[in-house]
Homo-oligomer: A and B are copies of this chain.
Amino acid sequence: MAVTIKDVAKKAGVSPSTVSRVLSNHPRISAETSRRVREIMEELGYHPNIMAKSLVSRTTNSICIMLPKSAEELFSNFFFMELIRGIVTQANRQGFDVLLSSGANEKDEVEGVARLLNGHRVDGVILLYSRTDDPVVDFLYQNNHKFVLIGRSEQYADILSVDTDNVQASYDATKHLVSLGHQRIGFVSGPPDLVVSKDRLQGYLQALSDAGLESKPEWIVEGEFLQESGYRAISFFMNLPDRPTAVVLVDDVISFGVLRGLHELNYKIPDDLCLVSFNNIPLAEMSTPPLSSVDIGIYNMGYTASQMLIQAIQHKDNDKVSTARYVIPHRLVVRESSIFSVPKV
């Protein structure tokens, strides 16, 4: 049996409530008592029972990260790990614990989150993705739970979220290629049910249109956030009669697949095809050639999301939070994969 507040109280010759007050730095407690109690706590190796505290205080000082249905299949692991690092770092700094949860399917996810939230196991949730029509978001929203979305919701305007301005980011990436003189620019997208895919596609189209450039349906390919997608997409592109001379890709990992595919087909980068992708993972700088990539500050997104959530939890004043969409700035990092001007085809 572990040492409790009572044991400390007895040994210190005070009441349990006094010990409790020392623990929570109650203002009206004598310095002397406080000192002595702390001494005894140390001596006895006392550790407050977090569960008991939570039970009475109705707050858990922990948040939950909901991993997407199958993180492995959707994105590069790097993205999630960075996000998680940012979240955990900030949460721990604020004295919050972080729970990791995932579900085999959407129903599972809702149930898991419901169990945690309704069962008072966590105070809030961070969602690491944004799908269109997400039942988890519906649940959280309708039951008035505290949560933050990494990404953007298409249905609800008044929810906390932290996001990249993906339309603008994609616009910038495309514009960069346009400014180098490219006229035929392709686009490799991610799963169409993710908001990020749609937003980046939109930015790409907008940039082309603003530049007065043509956009052909066959220059746009949908895939997964996987190398294989890039690998496949590229053989398709390169066989087109009027093939693109440059391409925007929604994830660095896809670029790696493209790099591999082009190498096998004996094409040179950037001479035969220029590339710009997203996320700027560390490996982007180490590939051959180094990749131009839009850095979206992933760690920062996680850090900020955690901060927003904990703030919302602690200031329980407003039930329905005033809209707060926090946009993390992005920046295009230009490297060799795009620095040559238009290849002569």
State in angstroms the CA–CA spacing of A100 and B83 once bound together.
13
Tell me whether A144 is interfacial, beta carbon within 8 Å: no
The answer to whether B119 and A47 have CB atoms under 8 Å apart is yes
Q: Which of A77, A85, A120, A226 has the most CB of B within 10 A?
A: A77
| Of B80, B88, B253, B288, the contact of A67 (CB 8 Å cutoff) | B88
In the complex, which residues 96-134 of chain A have their Cβ closer than 8 Å to any Cβ of chain B?
97-103, 112, 114-116, 118-121
A38 to chain B minimum Cβ distance, whole angstroms, is 16
**Which residues of A53-106 have CB atoms within 8 Å of chain B's CB atoms?**
54-55, 60, 62, 65, 67, 71-72, 77-78, 80-82, 84-85, 88-89, 92, 97-103
Chain B residues whose C-beta falls within 8 Å of the C-beta of A82 in the assembled complex = 77
A263 to B259 alpha-carbon distance, docked (Å): 14
Q: Is the CB of A98 within 8 A of B100?
A: yes
CA distance A62 to B100 in the complex (A): 11
Binds B, one of A153-161, A171-179, A279-287: A279-287
Chain A stretch 330-344: residues in CB contact (< 8 A) with chain B: none
Q: Which residue of B lies closest to A260 (CB)?
A: B286
Task: Return A325 CB to nearest CB of chain B, in Å.
Answer: 26
**A52 and B49 in contact (CB under 8 A), knowing A2-B120, A260-B287?**
no
The interface of chain A, by Cβ under 8 A from chain B, is 2, 45, 47-52, 54-55, 60, 62, 65, 67, 71-72, 77-78, 80-82, 84-85, 88-89, 92, 97-103, 112, 114-116, 118-121, 226-227, 231, 253, 256-257, 259-260, 263, 282-283, 285-288, 290
